[in-house]
Amino acid sequence: MSESDSELVLFAKAVSRLLGWSYVLCWSLSFYPQPILNWRRKSTQGLAIDFPTCNVLGFVAYSISTGAFLYSPAIRSQYAYRHSASPEPTVRFNDFLFAAHGAVLCIIIYSQFYTWIWGFNVGARQKASRVVLGIFWGSILGILVVIFIVRTRGKNAGYDPSSWAWLDVIYALGYVKLIVTVIKYIPQVFVNYKRKSTVGWSIGQILLDFAGGVLSIAQLVIDSSLQNDWSGLTGNPVKFGLGNISIAFDIIFICQHFIFYRTSAKDIEEEEWPNERQGLLAPRIY
């Protein structure tokens, strides 16, 4: 490798690190606008409870998945066995930090639907839909089934990567995150459509999420190109899929907020704040 090539590789690695911390910053900050908005409005109206319900499961699963890829020698060795061309997982510490931080914030947002904790106005529906709950418990059951298969059919109690192995459990956790990421946005899109308003749904989190999705995919592409093997993308389908799914839904929410449902201040006051004049609710926050 020539000196210029070495400098290019070093530059690409530096860019990758910068992109990694930039996207984790954007995605981490994206968790704050919604709970802050709920707190300032003293209400979760406008936010579908399905969203935080899915997020709690998804980010707990993602935390375990990224943590295993980083810190489990067994998982790392099994990954290297199955991806010999690029044996190093493309999961980075910033991925794990983002996942763990997100899990904590998602639990906080979910807790805001309990009036005995926060005292917020939560509206009529205080439980996730049957479809979401079915997917929630079905995902947990699916993980347990994979664990059972690994223990009963895997070689060497699941430590031989040539058959069913613990790596497959980690992949299952990752795919749970991917599934709930797809599902969690759909009820919120429908709620916004039904109400013809995005009041109560923070656009700030969407703009930060959109930026994070773009930066995440850019980092993954650079990391795979540095390894001279694009199986880095297929070896980390969760991260690649999350970026694309998030971007697609973010565009939908951006269109709903800025184009389709630009509700006037008067309409918002009548719909969301009927008791404000009596001093029963906090001032409006947009």
Question: 283 lies in a domain?
Answer: no
Q: What is the dihedral of CA 169, 170, 175, 177, to 10 degrees?
A: 120
Question: 188 lies in a domain?
Answer: yes
Question: 286 lies in a domain?
Answer: no
* Predicted local distance difference test score (pLDDT) of residue 276: 43
Residue 250 has pLDDT above 60, yes or no: yes
| Domain that residue 198 falls in | 3-278
The dihedral built from the CA positions of residue 221, 226, 230 and 232, taken in this order, carries a sign that is negative
Q: Give the pTM.
A: 0.78
Residue 139 has pLDDT above 90, yes or no: yes
Question: 78 lies in a domain?
Answer: yes
Question: 183 lies in a domain?
Answer: yes
* Predicted local distance difference test score (pLDDT) of residue 281: 41
* Predicted local distance difference test score (pLDDT) of residue 239: 59
Residue 280 has pLDDT above 80, yes or no: no
CB 215 within 8 A of CB 154: no
Bridge partners (DSSP) of residue 121 are 43
Question: 284 lies in a domain?
Answer: no
Q: What is the mean pLDDT of residues 153-170?
A: 88
Q: Tens digits of per-residue pLDDT, 183-196?
A: 999 999 999 999 99
What is d(CA 23, CA 21) in angstroms, rounded to the nearest whole number?
Answer: 6
Q: What is the mean pLDDT of residues 201-221?
A: 89
Query: Letter for the amino acid at 109?
Result: I
* Predicted local distance difference test score (pLDDT) of residue 187: 93
Q: What is the mean pLDDT of residues 76-88?
A: 83
Percent of the chain scored above 70 by pLDDT?
A: 83
Q: Tens digits of per-residue pLDDT, 12-28?
A: 888 888 988 898 789 88
Instruction: Name which of 46-60, 174-188, 206-220, 254-268 the model is least confident about.
Output: 254-268
* Predicted local distance difference test score (pLDDT) of residue 88: 80
Count of structural domains, the chain: 1
Question: 86 lies in a domain?
Answer: yes
Residue 162 confidence class, pLDDT cut points 50, 70, 90:
confident
Maximum mean pLDDT: which of 17-21, 248-252, 282-286: 248-252
- Residue 275 burial by Cβ neighbours in a 10 Å radius (0-12, 13-18, 19+): exposed
3-state secondary structure the chain: CCHHHHHHHHHHHHHHHHHHHHHHHHHHHCCCHHHHHHHHHCECCCCCCHHHHHHHHHHHHHHHHHHHHHHCHHHHHHHHHHCCCCCCCCCCHHHHHHHHHHHHHHHHHHHCCCHHHHCCECCCCCCCCHHHHHHHHHHHHHHHHHHHHHHHHCHHHHCCCCCCCHHHHHHHHHHHHHHHHHHHHHHHHHHHHHHCCCCCCCHHHHHHHHHHHHHHHHHHHHHHHHCCCCHHHHHCHHHHHHHHHHHHHHHHHHHHHHHHCCCCHHHHHHHHCCCHHHCCCCCCCC
Question: 244 lies in a domain?
Answer: yes
